[in-house]
Chain A
Amino acid sequence: EIVLTQSPATLSLSPGERATLSCRASQSISSYLAWYQQKPGQAPRLLIYDSSDRATGIPARFSGSGSGTDFTLTISNLEPEDSAVYYCQQRSSWPSFGGGTKVEI
């Protein structure tokens, strides 16, 4: 089983700042990583897949990078609507998710 560890647990930032979220895999997963955004009371939404490819309709402010075991989601020019919990997910083996990072704007 591949374990994904996300950090920090909570990130508090101001509008216009940049958020950097980390996801570390317990073993190499190549570039098989995705990021999801979940707002309260809503279903998750796919932001990034294959480590760095943006899903349809996702603003360019969201970018992903990394390979192997270390991955980053960067949100530039934060907006109040970016307040949410962000999850990473791997598909190198049976799908698994990280514990999430809560971003407060």
Chain B
Amino acid sequence: EVLLVESGGGLVKPGESLRLSCTASGFSFSTYAMNWVRQAPGKGLEWVSSISTVGSFIYYADSVKGRFTISRDNAQKSLFLQMNSLRVDDTAIYYCARDLNTIFGVGRNWFDPWGQGTLVTVSS
């Protein structure tokens, strides 16, 4: 069974940092591009960042560019999101999602499956 488990969420103050982790199992992690997608409470979905299989290609939404850093450790089957300079509007459930298909190391940006998410709350 493919499983993605996020961790690292919590309550932080504006300007602080947080590092999210996503641990994968049930598939060959190193052969799939991976993604972070977030959902503010009661709101819709927002793509945050994507990373190719070996980290050669990395993409960010404009809303997090320069503040967030995506990375991965294929040996540990883990995906990370380092979030710095957090703002109140970064408050959301953060989902880790595998790419449905990965071609030449780069994902096609269809997200399947998703983890259960980890809640990040930024508040003073």
Interface positions of A (Cβ within 8 A of B)? 34, 36, 42-46, 49-50, 55, 87, 89, 91, 94-100
Contact = CB atoms under 8 A, between A and B. Distances in A.
A43 B115 CA distance: 7
Interface string B82-109: 0000000000000100001000000011
B79 to A, nearest CB: 15
Interface stretch (B7-15, B16-24, B43-51, B67-75): B43-51
Contact of B44 (A42, A46, A97): A97
Contact of B109 (A45, A95, A98): A95
A98 B44 contact: yes
B44 A87 contact: yes
B114 A44 contact: yes
Contact of B100 (A43, A44, A49, A97): A49
B73 to A, nearest CB: 23
Give the interface size class of chain B. 10 to 19
Contacts, number: 51
B46 A97 contact: yes
Interface string B42-71: 001111001000000001010000000000
B42 to A, nearest CB: 11
A43 B116 contact: yes
B44 A94 contact: no
B114 to A, nearest CB: 4
A100 B45 CA distance: 9
A100 B40 CA distance: 14
Contact of B47 (A43, A95, A98): A95
A45 B114 contact: yes
